[in-house]
């Protein structure tokens, strides 16, 4: 079995960096034209799909075909589902309150600030977090048991995201639930089924690389970065700070797991 093709992988890294930058610059231009920087949320999933497709094409003749097809299918499945869901959820709405608050504090030109803080920052994160997706396309040798575990973990993650999004959409569509905390279904087991799902997705994609220890060592920064963002960065921590003053949230937080789905705590 041949070793990992580092030179071809390095070329892939450079090409994907350029493509990712182009995707986000187009998103920025459209966002400025429409006055909606929340379009960046839709691009997040699409950009990973583009990186996976580019890596699949460039890796022809290098990596195992089964692994290349698998990582492309899993990445595109996750990215396109997320993009479609966010596009549907935001249809007909104005700017996302998160971006509105951020840009209200912008020093100087708002669009220049959005380019740096929203679009270019996310472009860099897409390239960094997608390292396992890029590397998996170049791993030689057939898929092993660890890759199968990774695919199963991906499936668990996407399932949590899809179920949580569906349950939340049905809850918020009922006018009688206005102002109430969603604490039903999967949301009674974890306060963040979507963030936990993302966590599983990216550790799952990383495991598909682990048949090659050297490639795994280089790309482990990806799931570690995503884990930090989801738990301690712009995900769970920021959302809970925003929700802290909502009526009933303190009680919900006391009885519901903060991340990993667990049975609700019994009231004392």
Distance CA 96, CA 112 (A): 18
- Using the 8-state DSSP alphabet, how is residue 116 labeled? I
Number of structural domains in the chain:
1
List the pLDDT tens digit at each of the 268 positions of the chain.
Answer: 468 999 999 999 999 999 999 999 999 999 999 888 889 999 999 999 999 999 999 999 999 999 999 999 999 999 999 999 999 988 878 777 777 787 888 887 888 888 998 999 999 999 999 999 999 999 998 999 999 999 999 999 999 999 999 999 999 989 988 888 999 999 999 999 999 999 999 999 999 999 999 999 999 999 999 999 998 776 677 778 777 778 888 888 889 998 999 998 776 5
Domain that holds residue 70: 6-255
Tokens representing 62?
């290098």
Structural domain contains residue 261: no
Dist CA 94 CA 225 (whole Å): 30
User: Given this model, what pLDDT does residue 83 score?
Assistant: 95
Q: What is the pLDDT of residue 268?
A: 57
Residue 262 lies in a domain: no
Determine, yes or no, domain membership for 101. Answer: yes
- Amino acid 167: pLDDT: 95
Say how far apart CA 135 and CA 215 lie, in whole Å: 7
According to the model, what pLDDT value does residue 209 have?
A: 96
In sequence order, which residues have a C-beta less than 8 Å from that of residue 231 and are 6 or more positions away?
195, 199, 237, 259
N-terminal to C-terminal alpha carbon distance within the chain: 60
């Amino acid at each position: 079995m041949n070793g990992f093709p580092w030179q071809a992988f390095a070329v892939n890294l450079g090409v994907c960096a350029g493509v990712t930058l182009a995707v986000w610059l187009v998103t920025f231009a459209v966002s400025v034209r429409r006055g909606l920087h929340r379009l960046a949320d839709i691009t997040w999933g699409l950009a990973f799909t583009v990186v996976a497709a580019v890596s699949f094409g460039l890796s022809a003749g290098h990596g195992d075909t089964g692994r290349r097809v698998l990582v492309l299918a899993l990445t595109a499945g996750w990215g396109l589902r997320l993009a479609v869901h966010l596009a549907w959820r935001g249809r007909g709405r104005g700017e996302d309150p998160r971006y509105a608050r951020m840009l209200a504090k912008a020093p100087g030109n708002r669009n220049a600030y959005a380019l740096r803080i929203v679009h270019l920052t996310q472009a860099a994160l897409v390239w960094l977090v997608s390292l396992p997706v890029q590397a998996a396309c170049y791993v030689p040798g057939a898929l092993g048991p660890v890759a199968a575990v990774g695919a199963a973990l991906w499936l668990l993650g996407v399932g949590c995201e899809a179920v949580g999004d569906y349950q939340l959409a049905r809850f918020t569509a009922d006018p009688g639930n206005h102002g109430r905390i969603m604490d039903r279904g999967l949301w009674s087991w974890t306060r963040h089924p979507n963030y936990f799902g993302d966590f599983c997705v990216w550790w799952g994609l990383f495991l598909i690389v682990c048949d090659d220890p050297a490639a795994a060592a280089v790309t482990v920064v990806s799931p570690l970065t995503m884990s930090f963002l989801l738990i301690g960065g712009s995900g769970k921590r920021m959302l809970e700070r925003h929700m802290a003053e909502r009526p009933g949230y303190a009680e919900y937080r006391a009885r519901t797991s903060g991340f990993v789905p667990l049975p609700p705590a019994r009231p004392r």
